[in-house]
Amino acid sequence: MDINYIGEHAAPGQLGNWFVQLSFVFSILAAVAYYLGERNRDTSWLQLGRWLFRLHSASVVAVIGLLFYLILQQYFEYDYVWKHSNRAMEAKYVFACFWEGQEGSFLLWMFWHLVIGNLLIWRNKSWEGPVLSVLSLVQVFLSSMLLGLYVAGQKIGSNPFLLIRELPENLGLPWTQSPNYLSLIPQFADGRGLNPLLQNYWMTIHPPTLFLGFALTVVPFCFAIAGLWRGDLTGWMKAARSWSFSGVLVLGVGILMGGAWAYEALNFGGFWAWDPVENASLVPWLTLVGAAHLIIVNLRKPQSVFLALFLSMISFILVLYSTFLTRSGVLGDSSVHSFTDNGMTGQLLLYLLTFLLLMTALLIRRPLERVLYSGISASMLVITAVMEQKVALILVFLFFSALALVRAYRSDYRQVTEEEKLWSREFWMFIGSLVLGLSALQISFSTSTPVINLLIKPFSETFGQWGQQWNWEWLIKLGKANFAPPSNAIQHYNKWQIPFAFLTAMLIAATQFFAYRDSDIKKVLSRLAMPFGLAVILTIGLGYAFQFSWSQPNLLVLLFSGIFAVTANAHYWLVVVKKANKMLGSSMAHLGFALILVGALISAGKSVKLSENKTTFDITSLGKDFKNNEDMLLFKGDTVAMGDYFVTYKGKKTEGINQLYQVDYFSPKPNRYLKGQLVLSQGVVFECTREHVPSSNFLNDQANYWKVVDQPSSEQLRQTKLWNAGRAGDLAFTLYPRIQMNAKFGNVPEPSTKHFLHKDIYTHIRWAELERDTVDAEGYFKPQDYQISKGDTIFSARTLIVFEGMNLASDPTEFRLLPSDLVAVAHLKIIQADKQEIHANPIFILRDNNLVIPDVTEVKEAGLKIAISEINPAENKVSFSIAEHQDNTKEFVVMQAIMFPGINVLWIGIVLMGLGTLIAVLQRIRASLKNER
């Protein structure tokens, strides 16, 4: 029976679902029409394909428009709207809300493909048939990701227009039969909302840029397939050249936008963390850069045709692989960006393997071998789709495809023409593309460890069983093999990628000085001499300025290679080619890339954590991720030395959903110590012997100006302050790190950064007491542990606690204990801020020589609870557990501050690389239009 649901807006969803199905059907028909038009050389089929692709485009635009309408109208009965939007979300984040989910990001990807497709129809009529046939096939797979159908129990796509009551887990539930469920269930009044990490203006520009970059990788893929289809191995390259460099530009800018977003909005302290999803974007960019440069080489002379074809196509395949990694859930907890598995893993895998099959089949030039490979591989994919144990067949398919590619290269592509000469530009451009490919391979392998483990797991178990059966130790070890992701990702990838970066920088420095076909090496070396010498001088100067150590030669050689690339590209354009504006774009792009290397090396490699905990509170007690030598505890109103500054936590204020923490930075003034003043340094109390202005290091002054106070009195301890070379001077600047409050996703800290010409001071809150929910029923905070010896002092928030010693109780019964109990009594002197002294005697109870009975002494006047947790006679130390009352403590935060030197070199490099690539693309488009006329 049909139910008339009250207040439900089903019509736009039904219309949207209809357009999803239309987009899928039209993409299939367009692919078929273009295929037949190319195969039969029939313009009527091509004309039909053109109109079908336009109808597909209109359907996709309609889907996008309807989904935006649902979000803007806040129809929370729709699952997609409820998951990614809410009423509290600012209107400017509606775009971020649209593409936060998988369905929206697929739609964004499809949108860029249809824009590109219609531009290709307009500008590339000679290649329209095969190129649009392949592009339409890509759209078939992307459209299928939105169908939300179940075929033979297998989920095909995820529909963005699904109502919450239509979700499989909700079907048949009683509330779905209620006509007025929307008003009865409070959850439908508002949505879950946008992830707080994404509530940043970068999320309105970074994803569309990145997905346009992903979409542009399909163009060289389609052209390469078209060239192989027609048997024209190089003719496609002229049409694909500008598209390839456009992809390099847009995808590169998208990746760098992600780095800027991470630096500004995320709290890990940096712009690149080698996260698996970051890597999945970087790898296709590396291969696309190599492909674009090889296209230039092969347009002049057909050399390394196979590698040009392979890199052009593998860039798109790697985009599909990154989609599989991030959306299949295979990355699990190894990436902060990955989606969870939503039941489409098999579909994503089929998408990837189908186009890998297509690429491999067309690279095989011999018809019989191509037919055999295609038939066997297609059969394997069909069997894989219905098999429960898919891993073995997938491995066989991948191995079979790799063998087919090696066979094709050796039999059909080797020595298409004569080999390049050693001193030719095309040879070194080929080497550069090879280096980029190897770099991409290493990143892909390390990123893919979760996938590799899934693939080898069935075989590992078998090998382990065989090893146990035959008692072969090596087989048992093989059975236990497991590729663990790198524990320190930044260190792991840097170790591998620094050599690749060095080689790339050296190549972009020198290659442009070589001529095509052949060069006079003496002339090349003479032109390189001046930028080389200048790079040596600058490397020495910067290495000294930023304290690069000879114990890290890899960083020094990378610094040199980056500087050499800067000086060489500047020299090449300003001196060698002078006013040859045609070289401006490439030289500027290379210069920008070199500056990125130098800026990243200096800013990340020589960043300094300025913060350090100088209180007696052990920050590690707040969590295992906190470190006393990297994080600092700041009480409200206290001024503490930090690096070249003094900092004060002034307080917090609320702005909307954000809690802002005001941290004032003061420039230092020289301190002056008078005779008789007491300071604490390295845990020891010192008395000043004569007036002086301190140096930067206490040890330099100790012999001349300070004497040790062996047993400071209570009065002396009250007067003791931490030693500082300086004191707070004028206010330098104020930062407002914030915590975005979000009850549904969890609170998210976001940093605040002060930008200087030569450095950045980056500050973020690591811990803050958002509410007084960390105290027990009596108002005490979690106890802190202190291990001390007789005579030592514990500094609490308002008191000094002196451990005067310990003795055994002569009569345990006075503590209402058994006569056989062993009772140790500690003697503590508690000195309060008003100089009042309180004595406390916590006890340690040992029964039957092994049972420790906990006992807590409460000192209400001092707001303390004290217990003895352990006695260590061997080291003559006692461990006390001390809890403080909330009335004792001032508000405090745990903050981390990092200084990034020279980071503006990185940002300038990003701008120059993007601008240079844009100029190069525009120059090539202009030249292409001129040739057409």
| Alpha-carbon torsion (43, 47, 50, 55), positive or negative | negative
Minimal CA–CA distance to 63: which of 25, 18, 93? 18
Q: Check pLDDT > 80 for residue 331.
A: no
Euclidean distance between CA atoms 56 and 21, whole angstroms: 10
Q: What is the pLDDT of residue 337?
A: 46
Query: What's the rounded Cα separation, in Å, for the pair 511 and 847?
Result: 81
Measured distance between the N- and C-terminal CA atoms of the chain, rounded to whole angstroms: 67
User: CA 782 to CA 882: how far, in whole Å?
Assistant: 8
DSSP code string of 859-904:
ETTTTEEEEEEEEETTTTEEEEEEEEBTTTPPPEEEEEEEEEETHH
Range 226-254 average pLDDT: 93
pLDDT tens figures, 148-180: 888 777 788 899 999 999 988 888 888 888 899
Residue 387 is encoded by which pair of tokens? 């098999």
Task: Kindly report which listed range (327-336, 431-440, 599-608, 622-631) carries the lowest average pLDDT score.
Answer: 327-336
> Which of residues 744 and 843 earns the better pLDDT score?
843
Distances in Å between the alpha carbon of 134 and those of 27, 32, 268, 864?
A: 10, 10, 41, 74
- The mean pLDDT value for 871-887 works out to 84
* Mean pLDDT, rounded, for 551-565: 92
The answer to whether 705 touches 688, Cβ cutoff 8 Å, is yes
Q: Which of 76-85, 181-190, 322-331 has the lowest mean pLDDT?
A: 322-331
Percent of the chain with pLDDT over 90: 44
Of the candidate ranges 121-125, 537-541, 559-563, 692-696, the one whose mean pLDDT is the lowest: 121-125
Gap between the Cα atoms of 520 and 21, Å rounded: 62
Residue 416 has pLDDT above 60, yes or no: no
pLDDT at 583 over 80: no
Model confidence pLDDT, tens digit, residues 588-639: 899 999 999 999 999 988 999 999 887 766 777 677 788 888 899 888 888 8
Rg (CA), the chain: 34
The helix (run of H) or strand (run of E) holding residue 843 is strand 843-847
Confidence of residue 108 (pLDDT cuts 50, 70, 90): very high
Please give the helix or strand (H or E) that residue 642 lies within, else none.
strand 639-642
pLDDT band at 845 (very low <50, low <70, confident <90, very high): confident
Nearest to 75, CA basis, from 5, 137, 131:
5
DSSP 232: -
Which tens digits make up the pLDDT trace of 470-490? Answer: 666 655 565 555 666 677 888
Q: How confident is the model at residue 280 (pLDDT cuts 50, 70, 90)?
A: confident
Average pLDDT over residues 841-847: 86
- The predicted pLDDT at position 341 comes to 52
Lowest mean pLDDT among 661-670, 702-711, 814-823: 814-823
Q: What is the pLDDT at residue 585?
A: 83
Quote the pLDDT of residue 403. 94
Give the per-residue pLDDT at 467.
63
For 718-743, write each residue's pLDDT tens digit: 788 888 888 899 999 999 999 888 77
* 387 band by pLDDT with thresholds 50, 70 and 90: low
Residue 667 has pLDDT above 60, yes or no: yes
Angle between helices 276-300 and 305-327 (to 10 degrees): 160
Mean pLDDT value across residues 892-898: 91
Residue 338's pLDDT is: 45
Higher per-residue pLDDT: 720 or 402: 402
Across the chain, what does the average pLDDT equal?
86
Residue 76: its pLDDT value, please?
93
The string of pLDDT tens digits covering residues 40-84 is 988 999 999 999 999 999 999 999 999 999 999 999 999 999 999
Is 849's pLDDT higher than 60? yes
Angle at 727 between CA 724 and CA 731, to 5 degrees: 145
